[in-house]
Structure 1
Amino acid sequence: MEIYLIRHTTPAVERGICYGFADIDVAPTFETEAARVKGLLPDKPLVVYSSPLQRCRKLATYLFSNNFTTDDRLKELNFGEWEMKRWDDLGPDALQKWMDDFVYVRVPGGESYIDLRDRAVAVLNEVISKGKDAVLVTHSGIIRALLAHVSGTPLEKSFERRTEYGRVACLKVVNGAIEIDFYNS
């Protein structure tokens, strides 16, 4: 069984803005980036799940028409009160407190990285239980958390793995064991 993890294409948001749950549109480079992703996917039946945020939904629609299901658990980290604010405007104390333990400290009005990891792993386990090749069109946080889970990497180190916009990773499930087949293609 194969599970493809696809990060959305470049979002239409200014650099330096904190966003996660915000429903941001895609950048004008969408068609080019989406066509590249399409060329990386196998020509076989896939069960497709997508974050409901438009930057993922648009890519899922481009790749699979309307043959996908949205799942709120595939959303990016909920940055709560920080959503759509400039990182520089959050204040050094608030930001440092979170950065010191982002795995467990919740963003004000939002969630922690462990919260995101738990919902991501729940989706992964459900997909695996269905036993069919699948695609998750989602966000960097979800993909990093899943790759950390599969590889046994501590969440604190998961950001050492870059996940570029419009890139694909593939997990293979063989006899109940999950491994990373490829990453960032």
Structure 2
Amino acid sequence: MIVLLRHCRTEGGRGRCVGRTALRLSPEGLDQALGLADDLGAVPFARLCSSPAIRAQATIAPLAGRLGLGVEALPALDEIDMGAWDGLAFDDISARFSEEYTARGQRLGRYRAPGGESFEDVAERAMAALVELAGGPLPVLAATHAGVIRSVLCRVTGHPLDDLFHFTPGYARCTILRPGGTLGLVAADADARTVRELL
């Protein structure tokens, strides 16, 4: 199995366009990360991977310590690159880039912010990485981001990328995929108990 873990709760991102912007875990998020280490510390993961983002690395670090495993940084699992918009307040974006902001809302899956990438781009790079991870060793847990998980869920289920916000992965929640000829969805937005039961 492949377990995609959305990073724990962050601070400093409310009302902002957060893609590659460096955010740290909030106090609640740090507690969540410790809780994940407790809840998943008995799962025999063969491999731990993470987005290179600080928030993802901090999420998986306590579990890695508990399991005695290293963490492989996978740039393909980083959050969407929002280019010139990254880190800006959404109110500022809608005022400064009004036409582009409207266009993004009309074709969310294919739209690239100036200097950034689209969710189609995210899906392509993430799916390629997951196919490689499916080759083993398994099970593997990868700490990543909501945008990545939503994009992957669209690809795995056939749901349109323009409606990727249909999926709502929570902080510190897991999406479980089954390797095979094609990746299959086992569970979405699952808690650690579900991961333990299925693995």
Name the SS of the counterpart of 1:125 in structure 2: helix
| Partner of residue 166 from structure 2, selected from 160, 165, 171 | 160
Give runs of ≥4 in structure 1 deviating > 3 Å.
none
1:19 aligns with 2:22: no
The alignment's TM-score, normalised by the length of structure 2, stands at 0.85
Question: 1:94, CA displacement in angstroms?
Answer: 2.3
Report sequence identity in percent.
27
The alignment's TM-score, normalised by the length of structure 1, stands at 0.91
Which structure shows the bigger proportion of residues in helix conformation?
2
| Kept after mapping to 1: 8 A contact 2:45/2:141 | no
Distance 2:13 2:156 in 1: 32
Distance 1:96 1:165 in 2: 28
Name the SS of the counterpart of 2:44 in structure 1: coil
Q: Deviations over 1:17-74 (max 9, x none)?
A: 1111112111111232113433157521321110011000011211113611001111
Q: How many pairs were matched up? A: 183
Matched residue type, 1:161: F
Q: Deviations over 1:122-170 (max 9, x none)?
A: 1111111235211110000111111121112121222111011111111
Supply the RMSD in Å over aligned alpha carbons. 1.7
Match of 1:70 in 2: 73
Distance 1:129 1:40 in 2: 22
| Kept after mapping to 1: 8 A contact 2:109/2:164 | no
Distance 1:104 1:14 in 2: 24
Matched residue type, 2:88: K
Matched residue type, 1:105: Y
Which range moves more in the overlay, 160-169 or 25-34?
Answer: 25-34
Match of 2:197 in 1: none
Match of 2:193 in 1: none
